[in-house]
Each structure stands twice: as structure tokens, then as C-alpha cells.
Amino acid sequence: MPIEFVATSRLPTAFGEFKITVFQDPKSGEEHVALSKGLELAPTEPVLVRIHSECLTGDAFASLKCDCGPQLQATLKLINEVGQGAILYLRQEGRGIGLTNKIRAYALQDQGHDTVDANLMLNLPADARRYDMCSIMLDHLNISQVKLITNNPLKINALTELGIEVVTRVPLTVGLNPFNAEYLQTKHDRMAHMYDEGDF
């Protein structure tokens, strides 16, 4: 069942004031959130948008095993500086495999397996995320053209297939550290994430 708009509120943050909008599937209870700024009137130009999948360890606990937290913070800062944009915060922990399986995969990574093989060893897909809810969220925000903040070509393809025009890609290379360098290299080598060699 499609998600539906539920409620919206002001949300002051360390990076500026945003509007938070929550959507929910009335049957399953699945929730997703949009953080937006400068969209009180329907935009007439392409809008900065990031699709950010939930990462409890990175977003809340400042884990150094990934680059999720720095990516989220950098996007909030960028949108606040520009004065307009949106983050679609999708509740798809661990690239869609859930928190428990994500930590199980982390345990395999501790043994030397990369992020892709760890998922596969658990009989899980390397990436189980879906993006169909994005069209409902963007439509609610009156966004039809986006400047997508991403390194992931799957997100560009997903929005395009949903009929959303991706005018340009905005690279987001932040958060590299000794604990996640191999993880980011794997995303480049095995998941086609669009990093430059100089990023590592």
C-alpha cells in the first residue's frame, strides 16, 4: 500500500531551520521522513535533493565504519546555505536489510569480508533498498526536477524510472577515514558508486 502524508512541523537543527514531514503506510506502519527548506511555494527550478537511507550507527552514533553521518550533515549544511532543498530520509536501515542483519554483516566484515560479500554470506542482497516511495514524497513537496546529491547511480536510475527528471548529479565525497576506506573502495569497485580515484 502506498505511503501517505501524515503530519508536518518546524524543525530547528544545528544546521538551520527545516520543515519535517512524515509519511506512513497505513497498513504496514512503514514510515519515511522528508526534511525540506525553502519550498513554501512550488519551485520553478530544479531542487537539491538527497535520498538518504537510515543509518543508526552512522547518523546517530557517529560510526566511522561508513560515511553516512558526514553525508547527512554535509547535505543539511548545503541545503541551509542554498536556502532550498530536501532530504528524503528513508527508513531502510543497512541498505534495506535491517539493523540486526546489518550488525551481523559487520561481524563478518570484522573477519575480513567486504560489505558486499558479508551480505551475500547471510543470503541477503548487496542492496535491498527500494525507492518507489520517493515519487509520493517529492510530489507532496511539488518537486518534479531534481539536482540529486548522490554517488549512487541506482538512485539516479530509480528516480528516472519513476518519472522524476534528474537534471544533474551533485557529488558528495565526505567522511573518508582509515576505518571506512576499504568500504568506500568496495562501493566504487563492486557497486559502481561514482567516486574519483583521488577520493581515496
Same domain, 84 and 182: yes
Residues 3 and 23: their CA atoms lie apart, in Å, by 6
pLDDT given for residue 12 in this prediction: 98
Same domain, 107 and 169: no
Same domain, 27 and 119: no
Q: What is the pLDDT of residues 52-64, one digit of tens each?
A: 999 999 999 999 9
Q: Which of 83, 97, 71 is nearest to 152 (CA)?
A: 71
Q: What is the mean pLDDT of residues 71-84?
A: 97
Same domain, 57 and 104: no
Active-site positions read 127, 129
Q: How high is the mean pLDDT of the chain? A: 94
Same domain, 30 and 100: no
pLDDT given for residue 13 in this prediction: 97
Q: Which of 126, 149, 180 is the C-terminal boundary of a domain? A: 126
Residue 136: inside a domain, yes or no? yes
Q: What is the mean pLDDT of residues 14-26?
A: 96
Q: How many domains does the chain have?
A: 2
Same domain, 28 and 119: no
**How many Cα atoms are found within 13 Å in the side-chain-facing hemisphere of 90?**
25
Q: Residue 54 maps to which CATH number?
A: 3.40.50.10990
Same domain, 55 and 85: yes
Q: Are 85 and 79 in contact, with CB atoms under 8 Å apart?
A: yes
Same domain, 61 and 156: yes
- Rg of the chain over Cα atoms, rounded to whole angstroms, equals 17
Same domain, 69 and 150: yes
List the alpha helices (DSSP H) in 133-172.
133-140, 153-161
Q: What is the pLDDT of residues 122-177, one digit of tens each?
A: 999 999 999 999 999 999 999 999 999 999 999 999 999 999 999 999 999 998 89
Q: Reduce the secondary structure of 47-72 to three states and give it as a string.
A: EEEEEEECCHHHHHCCCCCCCHHHHH
- Whether residue 189 is predicted with pLDDT greater than 90 in this model: the reply is no
Which SS3 state, helix, strand or coil, does residue 160 take? helix
Q: Determine how many CB atoms are found less than 10 A away from the CB of residue 9.
A: 9
Same domain, 134 and 58: yes
Same domain, 13 and 83: yes
Same domain, 9 and 72: yes
Domain extent at residue 100: 94-126
Q: Which three cell numbers stand for residue 51?
A: 535520498
Residue 45: inside a domain, yes or no? yes
pLDDT given for residue 102 in this prediction: 96
